[in-house]
Copies of this chain bind each other. A is one copy, B any other.
């Protein structure tokens, strides 16, 4: 897979793909003729994983740590699992939080313009 293909497939810019690799968010991709990247299936998996994690706002720093642990090998499995669990919990919390805000927004929209209910509105925000 060329970088252009990966870029299209995951809708990540070529620059972003190179950036991710540069900072260690993705293990180094094997190079073919003339130093060009040739993404393996495993590389693709990584890109997909990282894309998901980034959508979930998991900081790049944290993901770099994860990649480092993977690189260190078998001995780090527990730490990796712990790291993922931590992030999972953060994410779950965030979702709950956003859910609450969604409900508030729904309420606000439903009652928009009704001059009544001022008291309750004040309780909300």
Chain A positions within 8 Å of B, measured between CB atoms, are 41, 45-46, 48-49, 52-53, 55-56, 77, 80-81, 84-85, 87-88, 91-92, 94-95, 97-99, 101-102, 104-106, 108-109, 112-113, 121-122, 125
What is the oligomeric copy number? 2
**Prevailing SS type, chain A contact patch:** helix
Q: Please state if B91 and A122 are interface contacts (CB–CB under 8 Å).
A: no
Contact pick for A77, options B49, B77, B112, B125, CB 8 Å:
B112
User: Contacts A41-B122, A125-B48: A101 and B112 contacting too (C-beta < 8 A)?
Assistant: no
Contact pick for A101, options B55, B77, B81, B85, CB 8 Å:
B55
Q: Please state if A95 and B102 are interface contacts (CB–CB under 8 Å).
A: yes
